[in-house]
Amino acid sequence: MEIKILGPGCANCHKLEQLTVDALAELGIDADVRLVTDRNEISKWVMMTPGLLINGKLFSQGKIPSPSTLKRWFQEAAAQI
């Protein structure tokens, strides 16, 4: 599974990155998690950061989803692989 956190490196971006890593660890799901800070790449996907891409699909932008929401999204994405 490929997960991208889109943002300039702000506190919210890092918080979403940590919540993502924690949720994946709790679920035992192996994923490639990357923080994308390139403004050109970010602007292709979102107008507001942080953004969350799972396997190339936009799931969230401009907010930090709850841990339970993240877990649900990761489980659903893992089931599709």
Which are the catalytic amino acids?
10, 13
Q: What is the C-alpha R_g of the chain? A: 12
Peptide bond into 8 cis (omega under 30): no
Distance CA 45, CA 38 (A): 12
